[in-house]
Structure 1
C-alpha cells in the first residue's frame, strides 16, 4: 500500500533510477535519505509506519507502507526500483529468536528483490572476524549479508564497527559513562581493540556506493585509529577536560556489565546487552580495499568526537538511537472517545498561536515538565522498573519536533504547525494513553486546549487510571498554567512587533 506522496513528489525526474531505502526511520537511514536527495537521487522509503516520516524535510520522497518480511508489500515497494539500501536490524529487540527472524527477513527480502529485477542491494553490516565472534548480534549481521545474496542479486556489504556520531547509541554510551563516573571499575572488555568510524564517513561510503554500480562484495570500513574501549573513553574525557580513572577487572557475566550501563546511562538494557556482547570481540579492518575503491578518507576518532559534540552544542542532531525504538502499536485516530477517559483543560493566552505552539513543543527532555517534574521523573523510574524505557530517551532537539520523534516516554504521533501536537505514550501500561495540545485564535490572543486521553485495558487499566487521578489534579492544571505563562512571557520579551 502506497501512502499519499508528499508535495513535490511528482516533480522528480521519472527518468532517474529509483532507489529504495529501508530503515529510513532509523539512525543511519534517517541521515542517509537527505544526503541522497542532495546528490539528486530519486528516493522511495519503505516503512512499517510511514507517518513517522511525515515531518521530515524530504521533498519529493515517496513513502510506502510495508515490511521487509511481507512479500506482498515488498512487491509494490520494489516496483521499478534499481537499487536498494537494506538498513534493517533487530538489535533493539530482545528475543531468543532474533537471529532467526533477521535471517528469515533477509531471505524474504532477497527473494522479492530477485523477482522485481533489482540490480543491487547495499547493506550496512558489522565488522569482525567471523571465526572469533562471541556475539550473536555481530554474527547475525554477517549472516544477513550472506542471506541477502542468496537469490542471486549482487550485494555490496559495508562492515563497520562502532559508529561515532551525535545521538548514536555507541557514542551516547561512551559519553554518559565518561561524564558521570570519575572512577570506573570496568570489565576487561575495555581492553578489546576496535576501529571506530565517524558517522559522516559511513554516510559517505553509502552515498558514494551509487556511483559504482558494478561494485559488489564485502568492504570493511573503519576510521584512522585502532583503539581499545578504555582509550576511547579517555579520548572523550580529554576533549571535555575531564580527569577519569579506569580500572579494568574481571566481571564473570556480561549481563552484570549490561545492567550497570542500563542504570548509569540512558541506553535501555535491550540495546546495552548486544553492545556489551559485541565489545568482547575485536572489530578492526583486516582488508583495506575500501580505501582503494572509494574516495572516502575516514577521519580520526578525535575528529569524529569533536564533530559529534559540536552537533550537540548546536542542537543540530538529525537522528538519535531512540528515533526508531518503538513498541508496535495499533493505528489509532482520536476521532471517537468512546471507552476512553478524558481530562481536558483550556486557557485563554494573550499571545498568538505561534508562541503557544512553540511553548508546548518545548516540553520534555532536558527542558523538563513545567509542573511536578519530579512526579514525571518518578513515573519514568517506575516504567524502567517494569522493563520500560522511562524518561531516558529525552528529545532529539530542545525546541524542534517532527512526527516520530521521541519525547521522554512519549512519541510524537501528530504535528500540525501552530495548531496541534499529539503525543502517544510508550510506557508499559494496561491501556493506551495520549497527551494532546491544540491552539487556535481567540479574541486578542489564543485558546489553548490540553487533553489527556486514556483507553484502559481491563480491570488493571481502570485501577491504574483511578490511582493516578490525585496526581493529575496537580500536574495537568499546573502544566497548562505554566504553558500560558511561558507563551505570554515570550511575547513580552520579543516585543509587540515581533
Structure 2
C-alpha cells in the first residue's frame, strides 16, 4: 500500500556535481558572518553511505574531513583529493579527538556487521569513543544513521545494536540526530542486494513467514538528502527521527516489484512456518553472493515489521524536491542503465557525477548487477592497420573466424525462437560503422584501430556484447577480446552455464584466427 504515490522523484542526472535534491538553500553549507564554512567529519567514508555522502557534502560547500584506518582505500574514489584525511581507528578516543578538532558536525556512518560475530560489542565501543571524543572536542552535532524497528517487540541483534548506538550518542551531551531508516534501495546496499539476487535467481521461493511482514524501503538518494538536511536542523534538537520512502510493502511485494522493473516474471513465494532465521540465512547465503555474516543479521532483522512510527521528520527537514522516490523508481535507479558502458563504471571506476544509486569502487565485490565475461588476449607482431582490417571485417561473408558449423547452429537456434539468426549479413565487407548490422549483432562502438563493440540482437535471456580491441602490451601490440553477458533471472544464469563449454572452441579459436590472419596479411604486404 502507498502513503504518497503521487510524489514521484525524477532521475538524478547530475549526481554529485549538481544539487541532488534541488533544495539548494536547505542543503547548502551555512556561512557565518565572517564567511567561515562549517567543517564536517565523516566516519565511515569508505563505506556504502559514507562514500556517497562525502562528495555531496563537498558539493554543498562543506569542508570535509574523513577518518580512515587505511588511506589507500580512498585512492580509487574520485573525491579523495578534495577532503582532509586523518588516519586512525574510530574506536580510538585520541584519534577521534584529533579528527574532530575544529569540526562542527560529525557523521557516524560506521557499522561493523561485515566483521561477523561480535559486531554489536565493536559498534558499542566505537559509539562510546565517539560520544566521549565529540564532547571533548566540543562538536556541535552528531548525525547517526540507525535502523527502523518496532517499539513493542524483541529486536534482532542487528537492530538492537543500532538502537543501542543511537542511545549512546543521544546520551553524549552533544546534540544528536539519529535518523532511523529501513531497507535502503541502491546498488551496493546489502539489503537491496539480497532482494536483487534472491529475485534474479529464484522463480519460486520457499521463504520464512517474514516475507509477509511490512517494510518501508527508502531510496539511497533520499537517505542522502536527509543526511545533508540534518546538518541544517536547529542545534537544540537532539532526538531520533524515522525516515522512509512513500511505499509500505510486504517483503514479498518488494521482490516482485524488483521483478517487474527487471523484466522478470512474477515470483511465486510460499511462506513456510518451518524456516528458522538461521536456516533462512543459510539459504540466502547459498543462493546469493552476500556473505553469511551479513546475510544472517539482515534476515534476523526481518522478523518484525519495520515501518515509520511517525513523520516528525517532515517538521524538521524539507522533503526532496519532487517528493520521496517510489520503490519501483528507486529500484530502476539502483539497477542503472543496463548497457555496456555501465560494466566499466560498476567494476572499475565511478565518475564524480554518478547518481547515488550507482556502484562505487569502494562497494563490496558482491554489489551490483551480475556480469559474466569471457576474456582473451594474444600478443601479435602485426601492425594496428592489419589487425584492424581483420577485426572490422568480421561476420557476414567473412565469417566469425571460428568453426562455421557452431555459428550456423547458433543462428539456426535463434531463428527457431523467433530471432533474426545469421540471415542479415552485413552492409560492407570491409568497414564497420556505428549502427551497422553484422548478422545477429549491431555495431555499438567503432574506434578505428582501437575498438569494435558489438551488441547482441539474438534472443538471449539477458544482454550481451562482444568487444574486439587493440592495445599496447608489454612486448608490443595485443589483440584483446571480451564477451560480456548480463543475465536476466535464473534462465540467464543457466544459459551462460550451458554455452560455457563452447566458449573454448568459439572464442579461443576466434582470437587465434584473427591474429593469424592479421600477421599473414602483414607478411604478405611486406
Range class of TM-score, shorter chain: 0.5 to 0.7
CA distance in 2, matches of 1:441, 1:188: 55
Question: For 2:381 and 2:245, how far apart are their aligned partners in 1?
Answer: 53
TM-score (structure 2 length as normaliser)? 0.59
> Which residue, out of 52, 55, 60, partners 1:39?
60
1:107, 1:150 within 8 Å by CA — same for their partners in 2? no
Which residue in 1 is equivalent to 2:153? 132
1:234 aligns to what?
256
Runs of 4+ in 1 over 3 A off after TM superposition: 311-314, 316-326, 346-352, 439-446
Match of 2:316 among 272, 293, 297: 293
Change (3 A) 1:232 1:443: closer
Q: Does 1:85 align with 2:111?
A: no
Cα gap change, 1:212/1:181 in structure 2, threshold over 3 Å: closer, same or farther?
Answer: same
Which of the pair has the greater relative contact order for Cα pairs under 8 Å at 6+ separation? 2
1:342 alignment counterpart: none
Structure 1 CA distance, aligned partners of 2:168 and 2:313? Answer: 22
For the residues of structure 2 that align with 1:322 and 1:55, how far apart are their CA atoms? 6
Call closer, same or farther: CA 1:225–1:293 in 2, change over 3 Å.
Answer: same
Asked whether the equivalents of residues 160 and 221 of structure 1 are also in contact (C-alpha less than 8 Å), the reply is yes
- Residue correspondence of structure 1 range 42-441 to structure 2 within 5 A: 42-58=63-79, 59-95=81-117, 97-214=118-235, 215-239=237-261, 240-296=263-319, 297-310=323-336, 313=339, 315=342, 316=345, 323=362
Shift of 1:205: 0.4
Contact 1:168 1:320 in 2 (8 A): no
**What is the deviation of 1:34?**
1.0
State which structure, 1 or 2, has the greater radius of gyration over its C-alpha atoms. Answer: 2
Long gaps (5+) in structure 1? 1-12, 327-345, 353-438, 447-477, 493-498
- The answer (yes or no) to whether the contact 2:45–2:66 under 8 Å persists in 1 is yes
- Structure 1 distance, partners of 2:364, 2:332, is 26
Q: Is the 8 A contact 2:259 2:265 kept in 1?
A: yes
Question: Partners in 2 of 1:351 and 1:133 — Cα distance?
Answer: 70
2 CA distance for matches of 1:312 and 1:322?
Answer: 18
Q: Would the alpha carbon gap of residues 442 and 257 (structure 1) be closer, same or farther in structure 2, given more than 3 Å must change?
A: closer
Distance apart, 1:443 and its partner CA: 8.2
Give the deviation of 1:56 after TM superposition: 1.4
Q: Look up the SS of the partner of 1:89 in the other structure.
A: coil
Distance 2:381 2:65 in 1: 42
CA contact (8 A) 2:44 2:110 kept: yes
In 1: Cα distance, 2:331 partner to 2:176 partner: 31
Q: CA deviation at 1:131?
A: 3.0
Q: In structure 2, do the counterparts of structure 1 residues 443 and 43 end up closer, same or farther at CA, with 3 Å as the change threshold? A: same
Deviations 1:7-60 (A, max 9, x none): xxxxxx993221100101111001111111111111001111111012211142
